[in-house]
Amino acid sequence: MHYVYVLRSLKDGRLYTGSTGDLRRRLDEHNKRQVEATKHMAPFEVVYYEACQSKYDALRREKYLKTIYGKRYLKNRLRDYLTHYSTGRGKK
């Protein structure tokens, strides 16, 4: 199983989209600042993920989610969550 995931930086609220074969390990790597692209944004929480049958499907879906249409999809999919937590009204 392979995963496409979206992380939310607890530092600045920005989102990061990626793919992996081991979601827990990858989140741990992001939070330990071992990923060059995100080390300045740590710590993170997973706000969205999808399971895919193959690495190819996960990479293709990741590429789509990084397009304007994919970002729009995620914005709509996560609308309540992002609105709730970005205003400071939500509690973990």
pLDDT in tens, 40-57: 999 999 999 999 999 999
Cα Rg, the chain, nearest whole Å: 13
**What is the rounded average pLDDT of the residues 19-35?**
98
Q: What percent of the chain has pLDDT over 90?
A: 84
Q: In the predicted model, is pLDDT for residue 33 greater than 50?
A: yes
Q: What is the pTM of this model?
A: 0.86
Q: In the predicted model, is pLDDT for residue 92 greater than 70?
A: no
SS3 for 39? Answer: coil
Is 92 a domain residue?
no
The count of domains in the chain is 1
At residue 44, the pLDDT reads 97
Angstrom distance (rounded) from CA 31 to CA 38: 9
- Scored b (16 or more CB within 10 A) or e, 47-79 reads bbeeebeeeeebeebbeebeeeebeeebeeebe
Task: Tell me how far the alpha carbon of residue 5 is from its chain's centroid.
Answer: 4
- The sign of the CA dihedral 32, 33, 35, 39 is positive
CATH number at residue 36: 3.40.1440
Is 31 a domain residue?
yes
The model's pLDDT over 54-85, given as tens digits with 9 standing for 90+, comes to 999 999 999 999 999 999 999 999 988 777 76
Is 64 a domain residue?
yes
